[in-house]
Amino acid sequence: MTADDLAQALRRAVLAQRFETTADSLQGGAPLGVHPSLDLAVVVFPRGAPPVAANVLFSREHPAGLVARFDPVTGAVANIAFRADVRNAAGDSYAWLPGADWSRIDFPAWFGTGPRFVAPYPASLLKMMVAVGVARLVDDGRSDWALPLAHGGETRAVGDWLHDMIIVSSNEATSALVAHLHDRGAIRREAGREVRNELHELFAAHGLPGLRIANTQPDGGWGNGSGAGVGQIQMTAWDALRLMWRLDADAPPQPPLVSTASRAVIRRALDAQQLNEVLSSESLRELPGWVPGIPARFAHKTGNTQNYTSDAGIVHDGDLHYLIALTTSLGSRYAPADAATTWRIPALGGAIHAWLKAAA
């Protein structure tokens, strides 16, 4: 398998789903009509051979897909101009509303050069950046996994807050840990603006420009209503995948983001993750019309809102070992009742897994 083989297989898998025909509840169940934004990255670790990686990106502006090239020094995507998402004065993500005219929307430049790609909000996948930030506090001696941490009238150990943030995607736990990052000086604000963010410094040092968690608040606020959220918190699929790579002890070594002990704490939470409803659909097996997704052991984190769905993690299936990351503008408004997103997303996960299994 070559990187081009993998990239073209990912393109074919996405195109086969015909995402532009996905039913949209905001259009009364009519087809979406344009290709949704979808950022998909995979790296495979063949036994006895170097890793093989690819990143493909689709949007209404690029319905046939773009294939990313990677900088040979930093490993960052080198041929895409990533643009930040936007929201209006009411805090709504208006770029994804039916009839939105992208030619009239000023999407702020984020990083990179080349054809533009508007990066979807990562939803709760952002919690992986918070997890890394807290792990760094522990590694630096500024916190401890057993330290009692009070938030919202409840006191729990730092490690317990992290456990709930990952395995059940608790927003309250996320707020507790974001507040902890501020309290311990990892994120600093003066006169109402952020003046230092140690996570951004860490990601920059590791060549991970596609990870950003900006404008969070000392009280733990990280959503739209706090001035953070959409447009301020961003993750590309490729850099979300590379973050997961650094948390995968079975993968070829990368420069570590956290200590071995802290990596093990985060990995245990990923292994226990209970929201298998995006690339894997095991949590939804009892729903009418269920579609299987990735069928193997999948240590991962999902994210889901009305407009956005994401998933990233580590897959093992016998000798097959790979990482996969996905961010999309296909949130719960495209889902059948009680599902997180359209069934086309787990179908995509299942198709990619089947192709990789056959290639292996």
Q: Name the residue range of residue 157's domain.
A: 3-359
In this predicted structure, the answer to whether residue 2 has a pLDDT above a threshold of 90 is yes
Phi/psi at 353 (5° precision) = -60, -45
Measure the CA–CA gap between 162 and 128, rounded to whole angstroms.
10
- Using DSSP's 3-state secondary structure scheme, residue 43 falls into strand
**What pLDDT does 89 receive?**
85
Phi/psi at 214 (5° precision) = -100, 155
**What pLDDT does 90 receive?**
86
In this predicted structure, the answer to whether residue 159 has a pLDDT above a threshold of 90 is yes
Structural domains counted in the chain: 1
Q: 360: pLDDT confidence band, cut at 50, 70 and 90?
A: confident
Compute and round to an integer the Cα radius of gyration of the chain. 19
In this predicted structure, the answer to whether residue 46 has a pLDDT above a threshold of 90 is yes
Q: Which helix (H) or strand (E) holds 239?
A: helix 237-245
In this predicted structure, the answer to whether residue 148 has a pLDDT above a threshold of 90 is yes
**pTM exceeds 0.75 for this model:** yes
Measure the CA–CA gap between 121 and 17, rounded to whole angstroms.
22
Read off the CATH number of the domain in which 73 is found: 3.40.710.10
